[in-house]
Amino acid sequence: MLILLVILVVIVCALLGLIVLIQNPKGGGLSSNFSSSSQLMGVQKTGDFLEKGTWVLAITLMVLALGINVVAKNGPAAGSANKYQEQINKSFDAKPATAAPSTAAPTFPSATAPAKDTTAKK
């Protein structure tokens, strides 16, 4: 479903780009190329069609973006994120392994135990 929505967004973006590029901000654009009197649509109707097409495609793009957001949150990727979070929690909850002697904290003699004499007597 997500792939279908992404493909639709790409198509809508391409069409929206084409319609915007066809329009001329000064009122020329596509309508200026039709100067003959035997037109199916007049100059004003061509401008209205392009403007309505722009609005329809822009609104469609927004709705598709919201749809992708909803599908992505509820899709299969959401379940895999929970699986990874469970693995992370398990690794923090696990008891640490016994430390190697080289990395172990030094032990100090307790106050009640007699200290060993390390000096050699000759």
Model pLDDT for residues 28-80, shown as the tens digit of each residue: 555 555 555 445 555 567 778 888 999 999 999 999 999 999 988 876 655 56
Is the CB of residue 9 less than 8 Å from the CB of residue 63?
no
The pLDDT confidence band at residue 114, using thresholds 50, 70 and 90, is low
What's the DSSP call for residue 111? S
pLDDT of 94 strictly over 60? yes
With left for phi above 0 and alpha for psi between -120 and 50, is residue 27 left, alpha or beta? left
Q: Which residues, 6+ apart, have CB-to-CB distance to 5 below 8 Å?
A: 64, 67, 68, 71
What is the reported pLDDT for 88?
A: 81
Give, to the nearest 10 degrees, the angle between helix 43-74 and helix 2-22: 160
- Please give the distance of CA 53 from its chain centroid, rounded to a whole number: 28
Amino acid at 85: Q
Q: What is the mean pLDDT of residues 14-39?
A: 69
Distance in angstroms (rounded) separating the CA atoms of residues 23 and 18: 9
Report the percent of the chain where pLDDT is more than 90: 29
The Cβ of residue 118 has, within 10 Å, a number of other Cβ atoms equal to 5
